[in-house]
Structure 1
Amino acid sequence: ELPHAGPLVATSAAARDYAVTIVRHFLYAALMVPLWEALTRSTDPELAAIAARSVKEMRYHLAHTRDWLVRFGDGTDESHARSQAALDWLMPYTNEFFATDGVEMAAAEAGFGVRPADLRDAWEATVR
């Protein structure tokens, strides 16, 4: 939901920075892999089946964006700086990933959903 422009707006860099795209997608994929993995254990068989297919796709996205992020970090000074700036700009927003409301709590307690807060350790391990 954030504007795409990122931390380099009003600089010589393009308004639509590819580093922001990759970092944002990496942070999201790092969340969605453990989410879909957890949902494979849902008591709702249809949701569990959807999750089993979805986790494969998200693992691909995570690997793809992780590879790009490593390339940026190990690349030129500019690519490293831009990816670091994107990460610094986006990280504060990631706390919202783990906010849990009453609906999510009820779904988790009923056995078919997941508490987002329970995904934080797996997400942090991947991001580190």
Structure 2
Amino acid sequence: MNTLLVASVFCAIFAIGLTVPVLTGPGPAFQVTDGECENVSRDELVRQEQVNKGGFPFVTKQADVEYLGDPSKVIYCVQALSSDDPSVGSIAEITVGGVGHDFVNVHLTSKKGGPLHYDVEIYARAPNNNIK
């Protein structure tokens, strides 16, 4: 009887896992580099976060990195770089704000069962210091 119960619970969890929506929309990619990111100044780094979530079978991991910035500064570079191989299938996407704004949200999503390892960096400076 216990074996039947365990099998039923496993099947139910598996079926629910198959119906969880996957992140869709414009712009998702394995890594994101947006803006003038070639010659960034570490003095202008306004937010840095490392996201490290291990994989678990049938589970999609998600994380949001937000910067609700300083109105006197404008974002000029957003990077979400993964230490994983692209074959792990995770994606990053700027969902709101970003370059030219004083706020940004970077949404990270793993492939079902996969890990989520990203280093997100956001750079901003006073508008009169922007490169033209």
- Select the structure that is richer in strand: 2
Higher relative contact order (CA 8 A, sep 6+): 2
- Select the structure that is richer in helix: 1
Larger gyration radius, structure 1 or structure 2: 2
Tell whether the structures are fold-level matches, with TM greater than 0.5. no
**Length-normalised TM-score, structure 2:** 0.23
